[in-house]
Amino acid sequence: MASALIDAPKTAKRGEIITLRALVSHQMETGYRREISGAVIPRLIIHTFTCHYDGEEIFRADLFPAMAANPLIAFTTVATRSEPLVFRWLDDAGVAITETVQLVVTA
Amino acid sequence: MMFPERHSRNNIEPSSDFYLPAFFIAVLFAINLSPVPFMAVRAAEIPLAQRQSGFELMQAETQAMQRNDLSNPAMLWVREGEKLWDEKPGENGQSCVACHGVVTGMAGVAASYPTLDTASGRPIDLTGRIQQCRTDRQRASAWPRESRALLAMASLIGLQSRGMPIMPAPDPISKAGAARGKALFNQRVGQLNLSCAQCHDDNWGRKLGSATIPQGHPTGYPIYRLEWQGVGSLQRRLRNCLAGVRAEAFPFGADALIDLELFLMERAAGMTVETPAVRP
């Protein structure tokens, strides 16, 4: 049951630096752990996170097995236009989680 | 629902028979030549003015994580609980919302669990009550203990009591359970031969390895524990501690664990519910 929480301002002034924080529900199974039987638990992590704004990719992160479960990624951008911010997480199973928030930019 | 008036802290009197057992235990320690020297004298129960949540002992970063509902990972479980609240899992098509209404109506409920289950005449914890609702009233299968769905539902119900004072169940059966829990709390167990009280009453605020020992108040359960990388129940925490002192942990749902929960709620009476809390 995938879900995400986005901490982003609803409005910002044009040119203002805004902080975006994206929290997603994911087990981030490292691939290094074993079951009691000795069988390796296959790796299942989010390997790519992107954020698009106003038609452009403004942030991208490659994630690795050392990341904790339910990763929280925080970054900044400059508010330019009233456009949606689209956050996307892609995992090893090919599952994509997408979350969109609307940003209103005032002059 | 109606929420009963807050207990005055002055009503929660320390047990009058405390000092004699304390002396007795101190003598026992002297005879036993306890291997840990700083524990040689049994300290008193924590004075009300000094009670504090484990929140106070956390780093600023972890505190900030709990304060902001958009960075507290436990809120992911709460969101799942919100979906489950409206679901109809059983053959009779009953959802939680059909009986209880909007979940905000559960305010104050979690603050007074465990409580007396009148049907069985025994104390029941919140998890047990959720399971009872699922099997008896929704005609659905019980969720496994510590399953994501069960923790999600418990987190959602717990959140509704956030900011309210803990109100231990006042009925005599729950009080008797709390008394048994108190005895367990003070009983030395395991290969390390330690009681809960020896850490959480006598040595809170000091270090156990790199970790600061908290007072052990159940203010924030279910909690998101960074070490677990997930949400867990108070019973999981209690079983953790039992394993830590090399004792055989009581199974989930055991009467002894519910008695301990009852005592911990009594011990934390009047403290503020923080559910869902973040802990290191």
What is the CATH number for A44?
Answer: 2.60.40.10
Q: Is it the case that residue B167 has pLDDT exceeding 70?
A: yes
Q: Does pLDDT of B236 surpass 70?
A: yes
Cross-strand bridge partners of residue A75: A20
8 A C-beta contact, residue A38 and residue B103: no
Query: What is the per-residue pLDDT for B12?
Result: 30
Q: What is the mean pLDDT of residues A53-61?
A: 94
Q: What is the pLDDT of residues B6-51, one digit of tens each?
A: 333 333 333 333 333 444 444 344 434 444 444 445 557 888 889 9
Q: Among partner residues A6, A68, A70, which is closest to B76 by beta-carbon distance?
A: A70
Pairing of strands A4-7, A17-24: antiparallel
**pLDDT tens digits, A6-49:** 999 999 999 999 999 999 999 999 999 999 999 999 999 999 99
SS3 B56: helix
Phi, then psi, of B229 in degrees rounded to 5? 50, 35
Contact B174, B126 (CB under 8 A): no
- Contacting residues of A for B147, CB less than 8 Å apart: none
Strand partners, B192: none
Helices assigned H by DSSP within chain B: 19-32, 60-67, 74-86, 96-100, 126-132, 148-159, 172-185, 196-200, 234-244, 255-267
Best CA proximity match to A1, nearest among A84, A65, A95, A92:
A95
The complex scores an ipTM of 0.90
Neighbours of B85 (CB within 10 A): 18
Cα four-point dihedral sign B32, B36, B41, B46: negative
pLDDT the model gives residue A86: 97
Q: Which of residues 148-177 of B touch A (CB under 8 A)?
A: 148
Residue from B194, B157, B195, B279 nearest B230 by CA: B279
By the 8 A CB rule, do B97 and B85 touch?
A: yes
B157 Cα distance to chain centroid: 14
Q: Using a CB-CB distance cutoff of 8 angstroms, which residues of chain B are in contact with residue A21?
A: 70-71
Q: How far is CA B228 from CA A30, B37, B60, B107, B264, in A?
A: 14, 32, 20, 27, 22
pLDDT at position B52 is 95
B104-112 average pLDDT score: 96
Which of these, A58, A2, A57, A59, lies nearest to A28 by C-alpha position?
A2
The full set of domain ranges for chain B reads 42-68+166-279, 74-159
Residue-level pLDDT at A2: 54
- Confidence (pLDDT) at B43: 57
B191 touches chain A (CB under 8 A): no
Q: Answer yes or no: do A3 and B230 touch at CB < 8 A.
A: no
Q: What percent of chain B has pLDDT over 90?
A: 80
Is B71 in contact with A1 (Cβ distance < 8 A)? no
Structure tokens at B55: 């929140």
Say if A104 is an interface residue toward chain B (CB within 8 Å): no
| Partner residue opposite A5 with nearest CB, options B76, B226, B229 | B76
Which structure tokens are listed for B51? 């009670």
Class of domain B42-68+166-279: mainly alpha
Is the fold of B42-68+166-279 the same as that of B74-159? yes
Determine the residue of chain A that is closest to B77 in CA distance: A25
- Chain-chain contact of B229 with A21 (C-beta, under 8 angstroms): no
Identify the three-state secondary structure at position B227: coil
pLDDT digits (tens, 9 = 90+) for B183-205: 999 999 999 999 999 999 999 99
Question: φ, ψ for residue B4 (rounded to 5)?
Answer: -65, 155
Specify the amino acid at residue B212: T
Distance CA(A63)–CA(B86), nearest Å, equals: 35
**Enclosing domain of residue A18:** 4-106
Count of domains observed in chain A: 1
Determine the Cα–Cα distance for residues A49 and B86; give it in Å rounded to an integer: 31
For range B148-154, the mean pLDDT? 97
Residue B253: pLDDT over 50: yes
Q: What are the tens digits of pLDDT across the range A75-94? A: 999 999 999 999 999 999 99
pLDDT reported for residue A45: 97
The CATH T-level fold of domain B74-159 is Cytochrome Bc1 Complex; Chain D, domain 2 (1.10.760)
* Known active-site residue B196: no
Distances (CA, A) of B214 to A35, A71, B204: 32, 26, 5
Answer left, alpha or beta for residue B62, where phi above 0 means left and psi between -120 and 50 means alpha.
Answer: alpha
Asked whether the beta carbons of residue A23 and residue B80 sit closer than 8 angstroms, the reply is: no
